[in-house]
Amino acid sequence: MGGRLAAALADRGWAVRCLVRDRSRAQRLADRGFELHEADVLDADALRGAGEGVEIAYYLIHAMGRGTARGEFEDRERQSAENFAEMAKREGVARVAYLGGLGDRPASAHLRSRHRTAEILSALGPPLTYFRAGMVVGEGSESYRTLRYLVQRLPAMIGPAWLKTPTQAIAIDDVIAYLVAAPDVPASAGREVQIAGPDVLSYGEMLDLMADALGVRRRPRVPVPLITPWLSSLWIGLVTPVDAGVARPLVEGLSTPTTVTDSSGAELFDVHPMPFRDALRKALDEDQEAPAPAG
């Protein structure tokens, strides 16, 4: 997401500074001519100077999964948001844009922490544009990869209750379009902007549409409504390359409907998100690492 956003901003004529944890792993950004500031957001001292001369700062950081113990990522996200907000305020950043998640009163710690991050950024930092999205469909998205690999690798699958949960996915290109447009929409400062594609679908329906996009038969599902999030995450970890530390908080969030409940913020933007089928086709076309589908 960050690399795509940086490129899109540069294409619009912006000078871009990228905050990276490891300069040696950000060579592609350096090759594009972007200025790099190396720092971990957990280190407030290392952040000094990151916001100098910045008109808008984009906060796309989360600490979910990949070795982070359950509960620990909430503390890390809180501290990261506090450090970033205080730096941005101190160094005169005019506005912060943050991409969080949809969902009211979520049961999952992951979604609650994403919303808490927005509260911290708003309370301690410059005016915040709080973008909220459900599943992002695009190469590199863990949710998209999970759908794709479940369909490609399983001739049939268990059907936990969360397959009936409604959501409104959005193409990654449409997310980028909203983010890039934020500086030109001053009315979006200090408010929430819920963004999504036009289709409200259950996760089960998304699996069927993924099968259609891959050109394989729709996979039959065996109802197992009482399967726990822990068992679901183990199942996903076994049949997909998604990291187990990422799979569990993702699955825990699937019981929360992630649909737009207030479209007024998005209406400020001249962005018209594509349907889910088109988003899938575009993602599959761009995903050069996808194996040839079987079946």
Q: Does the residue 150 lie in any domain?
A: yes
> What's the pLDDT at 69?
53
Structural domain range at position 251: 39-286
Query: Where does the chain show beta strands of DSSP type E?
Result: 17-20, 35-38, 56-59, 95-101, 128-133, 136-137, 157-159, 166-167, 170-171, 191-194, 201-202, 221-223
pLDDT of amino acid 293:
43
pLDDT band for 288, please (50, 70, 90 cuts). Answer: low
Contact yes or no for 40/58 (Cβ under 8 A): no
Residue 109 falls within a domain, yes or no? yes
Residue 245 lies in a domain: yes
Q: Is residue 114 in a domain?
A: yes
Position of tokens 């049939």? 156
What's the structural domain count of the chain?
Answer: 1
Q: Does residue 254 fall inside a structural domain?
A: yes
Instruction: Evaluate if pTM is beyond 0.75.
Output: yes
Mean pLDDT for the chain overall: 88
CATH number reported for the structural domain that contains residue 132 in this entry: 3.40.50.720
Here the tokens at position 160 are 């936990």
pLDDT tens per residue across span 184-195: 999 999 999 999
The reply to whether 144 falls in a domain is: yes
Any domain includes 30:
no
Residue 176 within any structural domain of the chain: yes
> Per residue in 13-44, pLDDT tens?
999 999 999 999 999 999 999 999 999 999 99
117-152 pLDDT per residue, tens: 999 999 999 999 999 999 999 987 888 888 888 888
Q: Is the pLDDT confidence value at 97 over 70?
A: yes
